Every structure is written in structure tokens, then in C-alpha cells.
Amino acid sequence: MDFQVSGGQRAIEIAELVIAGWTGRDKAAVEKHIAELVAIGVKRPGTVPVFYRVGASLLTAAPEVEVVGGSSSGEVEFVLVSARDALYVGVGSDHTDRKVEIYGVTVSKQMCPKPLGRELWPFAEVDAHWDRLVLRSHVTRGGRRALYQEGEVGQLLAPRALLERFSGSAFLAPGTAMFCGTLAVRGEIGGGERFEIELHDPVRNRSLRHEYAVRELAIAD
């Protein structure tokens, strides 16, 4: 994929895509998110965090994604992108089919495109004040835009801690992108016709943003 990094363009070939789930630092917050999904029929994970491998071809920066039916929804996440010489941070949406999630979480992760914004920040630029970064999402349903998620990334495992759980070291293989977990939603989990995601840095007063429309494909009888 082609990304905007420090004012210039850079191509990073993503060969492996990992979706990390249940990554909260606070056990009570993790349990709240698990309870949200259990309430809609999703099986409780055996251990946390969990790392799901999905096809790297699912990554997209397109302004519109196509999904089957109306049972999918997005969720904002910070995304680690590893190049040969540096680790970067982006903002993405782990768009997931919630009906399929009841059948199998791994399969549901493979069902939908994974939107990722084109702009990245070098991780080194935000490392010192990482916990102050803010994740935020808005959903538009029936023409009405509403705040869907908001909170500091300090609620989630920090990148080095997450990578230690993933591989036993604070290293992410070059060519790997990892979605790193999400926050509880405000209200009920659900999709809409448009989803907006943001990773805000209050120290440098800047944001990574991406938005996409959702086109529902009809389900044949």
C-alpha cells in the first residue's frame, strides 16, 4: 500500500495482517466489551488477548467498502505497520460481520474489508506520550451522525506490551500490519451507512482520520 509518512509518500508491502482482540489493560473494561459481544451471541474467548490471522488482501483505503447484508459494523483501532526500517502507527476499522461472529470469530474477521487510513505516524513520534492519544469513531445511520466510541489508548495494552504477548518480543516483522483492539461502544453495537475513525494526538494537536461508506450487497435466497 502507498502511505503518507512525514509529508512524503512511501510504499509498504503488507504481507501479513493480524487482528488483536480483547486487548484492554483493565480487566473490567475487557469484560465489558466481552459482555457486549456475548449479549449478541458471540462465544467468550478462552484467553485474552487473542490474535487472529486474516488475509492481507482485506486491507483497503477505499472510500467505500462492500459487505454482504446489513449485519456488519466497524470499530476504531490503532494499527501498527512495520517497515524494514521503522514502526508506524495508523488508524483503522476492524469491520466485522456480527452474525458470522456468532458462528466463529476468526471466520467473521475474514468476511469484511479492513479499512486503513493512508497517513501514518512514526511510532517514535508518539512513544513518549502514547497514553494520551485518543481513539474516536462516529457512525451515520439513517442520515444521523452520532459519536460511537471515544477514549484514550491508555485503556488498551501499549504497543510493546501487546507485541510481547504476540511474539515474545517488542518486535513486529516487517510487512506486518496489526489492528490492536478497540474500545466499548456508546449504546448498542451496530452498523450504518458511513463510519468515521480518528486517532488524535493532543500533545502535537494533530489527528489521523479516515472515513468510508458502507454498501450492502443483497443476500440471495
**pLDDT tens digits, residue range 119-134?**
999 999 999 999 999 9
With cut-offs at 50, 70 and 90, classify the pLDDT of residue 32: confident
Of the candidate ranges 34-38, 71-75, 205-209, 211-215, the one whose mean pLDDT is the lowest: 34-38
Q: Is 26 exposed, middle or buried (0-12, 13-18, 19+ CB in 10 A)?
A: exposed
Report the predicted TM-score, pTM, of the whole model to 2 decimal places: 0.94
With cut-offs at 50, 70 and 90, classify the pLDDT of residue 104: confident
Model pLDDT, residue 154: 96
Q: In the predicted model, is pLDDT for residue 64 greater than 90?
A: yes
Q: Which residue has the higher pLDDT, 192 or 221?
A: 192
Q: In the predicted model, is pLDDT for residue 221 greater than 80?
A: no
Q: In the predicted model, is pLDDT for residue 33 greater than 80?
A: no
d(Cα 109, Cα 123) in Å, to the nearest integer? 26
Q: Which domain holds residue 191?
A: 2-217
All 3 cell numbers of residue 184? 466499548
Q: What is the CATH number of the domain that holds 141?
A: 3.90.850.10
Domain count, the chain: 1
With cut-offs at 50, 70 and 90, classify the pLDDT of residue 35: confident
